[in-house]
Amino acid sequence: MSKFIHTGDSLSSARFVCAEMMYRPRPSDSRARAVFDFALRSRWSQLDQQDVVLLIADSDTTLDSFTPLVREFPQVRVVGRVINPAYRDEMPDTSDPARFGWESPDQWRRLTMTDRWARILAAFDMVSSIDMPGWLVMPAHDAVWGDGLLDRLARISLDHSRAGMPAAVSPYTYWQHSTCPNVDIPANIVDLLNTALSRDVWMWRRLQRGDIQAFWGKMGIIPFAMCAALRAAVDVHIWEDDLEIDRVIHKLGFSARGVWVFDPYHYRQLLPVFDLESVKRVITRLLHYSLPSFNMRSGTGGSQLIQPLDRWGKLRRAISPRYARFYPQAQALIDECWSEITARLNAHGASWVDWGAYRYVTRPGDPEVHVWVRVS
């Protein structure tokens, strides 16, 4: 393991503990690495001597791949941990892999939970013993922070305390994809993905009013003092961990606030998405997330992406040249992805998507995701 990464778990003096959850080493492709590193640098540059990066990875190899970046931020202590989900059964269960027609069905093993859940639980465990005020920060790899973002979120957290407990807070942005300095990301790909994922014209208002999910997995801060209670109450079989965390926060009587960030300088997202196939992979994954709420018999529920535009969406299409330009192609991609998923549903009653090292199987009406990994 890199000598630049501390393996101890003493975080007692930290104000922000930034949990970076890594399922593989830094990208080897030059464009993908440039995008990944730019986003990570934007986050770590906002940390100081009070703060800690909690690098939770799948292997020592992954931890070692971050050594060059750790060198760039000597003011930040980096704590490295290797955490992976356990196998669900002692022996392989080939029934589903064989029924679904997967290659080499005897090589698949089912896991107890997603790798992200395993690392979230580890982060909860590590910060729960901190008896000083502070926050666990959980960014996605594509979160780009602007100056002062963490301090702003911390102020909002304190302002919306309930019974002495600060609130969990997440920023949200229209810019779910964006450009990167010195990296060739076609502008039409950025606009296409943002158009595809932006269906709710009034989401910013509903977020401000607290009418919808407040804690989001792309970026959020949770008070240390809240983490032990969340750790004990979350259902780790739910794929959308952010939605489950949001549900439990409210169930336990805590507070969560979503904050719409209009200016991408302060917060945005930056994906290694450079072409149509990459856009399609993102859409496919998002459609799978919402399959548990889809009713096959009635065709209702599921992702907002498969719902027709409401009158406000139609109005935006009529008056926004950019939205009008990219909407037809975005809708065609959504339809194509959804058609592939429904074909699997009709054939198997389930669908699956590969992401990272894992294969996720989900079924309409079943909140539990099945996570598989192929072993040799």
Is position 348 within any domain?
no
Reduce the DSSP state of residue 315 to 3 states and report it: helix
pLDDT score for 4: 55
Reduce the DSSP state of residue 31 to 3 states and report it: helix
pLDDT score for 175: 97
10-residue stretch averages of pLDDT, the chain, 376 residues long: 56 92 96 99 96 96 96 93 93 88 94 97 95 96 98 98 97 97 97 96 95 97 98 97 98 98 97 98 96 89 92 96 97 98 96 93 95 91
pLDDT score for 151: 97
Is position 158 within any domain?
yes
Is position 329 within any domain?
no
CA-CA distance, 262 to 375, in Å (whole number)? Answer: 44
Q: Which domain holds residue 196?
A: 16-277
Q: In this predicted model, what pLDDT tens digit does every residue of 222-274 receive, in sequence order?
A: 999 999 999 999 999 999 999 999 999 999 999 999 999 999 999 999 999 99
Other C-beta atoms closer than 10 Å to the C-beta of 112 total 14
Bin 24: left if φ > 0, else alpha if -120 < ψ < 50, else beta. Answer: beta
CA 106 to chain centre: 30
Domains in the chain, number? 1
Q: Quick one: CA dihedral 308, 321, 271, 40, positive or negative?
A: negative
Is position 339 within any domain?
no
- The whole model's pTM is what? 0.95
Reduce the DSSP state of residue 22 to 3 states and report it: strand
Is position 9 within any domain?
no
Is position 252 within any domain?
yes
Q: The domain that contains 266 carries what CATH number? A: 3.90.550.10
pLDDT score for 11: 82
pLDDT score for 356: 83
pLDDT score for 283: 98
Is position 337 within any domain?
no
pLDDT score for 91: 76
Q: In this predicted model, what pLDDT tens digit does every residue of 43-91 receive, in sequence order?
A: 999 999 999 999 999 999 999 999 999 999 998 999 999 999 999 987 7
Is position 77 within any domain?
yes
